[in-house]
Amino acid sequence: MSSTTSPSKGIFDSAMLEARENVVDLLTKAYWMELETVMSYLAASVNLDGVRAQEIKESLAEDVQEELGHAQRFADRIKELYGVVPGSEEFSAEQHFLQPPDEQTDTVHVIRGVIKAETGAIEHYTRIVEETDQIDPVTQDMVIEILRDEQGHRRLFEGFLREYELEGR
Ligand SMILES: [Fe+2]
Ligand SMILES: [Fe+2]
């Protein structure tokens, strides 16, 4: 290193190319997770039947907007890091646990699926927070905020599950 090196541009340094590509890959996975969650929650927010399902449906309908907002933030950050937001043909579904239940009154199936999806997001976003530490504080900041939303979602649905388990299905 000479004493005349230009000031660091952080994640945008040419020496950081590999790190930046890694962050884009992590963000792309997060983007797909959010979009699949939008599909799953949208379907469940409409499909569920029954008096007690109404609150779950309303909560999921709100979450659809929030998860879509997360997807948009991930997409924006992918572009800022010189990545390309992928097209739909690159999508492959993973939320087999959030497919519509056999009975549309099976709210517990949906609640458990939501908890699983939120847990998956929390795990992946925690990984992004760790991998961007000291490398890309801007991405890290954004993901910490989104991680908090997912922790809130999971906590809310854990509460729903406890109520259903206490009262029986
Ligand atoms: Fe999300
Ligand atoms: Fe969420």
Beta carbons of 110 and 56 less than 8 angstroms apart: yes
- Look at residue 6 in the predicted model and tell me its pLDDT: 78
- Rounded to the nearest angstrom, the distance between the alpha carbon of 133 and the centre of ligand 2 is 23
- Rounded to the nearest angstrom, the distance between the alpha carbon of 68 and the centre of ligand 1 is 7
Is the pTM for the entire model greater than 0.85?
yes
Rounded to the nearest 10°, the torsion over CA 103, 107, 110, 112 is -120
- Rounded to the nearest angstrom, the distance between the alpha carbon of 59 and the centre of ligand 1 is 14
Q: Nearest to residue 143, comparing CAs of 95, 98, 90, 81?
A: 81
What are the average pLDDT values for consecutive 10-residue runs of the chain, which has 169 residues? 72 94 98 98 97 95 98 98 98 97 96 98 98 97 98 98 84
- Look at residue 92 in the predicted model and tell me its pLDDT: 96
> Which residues touch 42 (CB under 8 Å, ≥6 apart)?
60, 61, 64
Q: How many CB atoms lie within 10 A of CB 103?
A: 10
Q: How many CB atoms lie within 10 A of CB 56?
A: 21
- Rounded to the nearest angstrom, the distance between the alpha carbon of 107 and the centre of ligand 2 is 17
- Rounded to the nearest angstrom, the distance between the alpha carbon of 67 and the centre of ligand 2 is 6
Q: Helix or strand or coil: residue 133?
A: coil
- Rounded to the nearest angstrom, the distance between the alpha carbon of 116 and the centre of ligand 1 is 13
- Look at residue 3 in the predicted model and tell me its pLDDT: 54
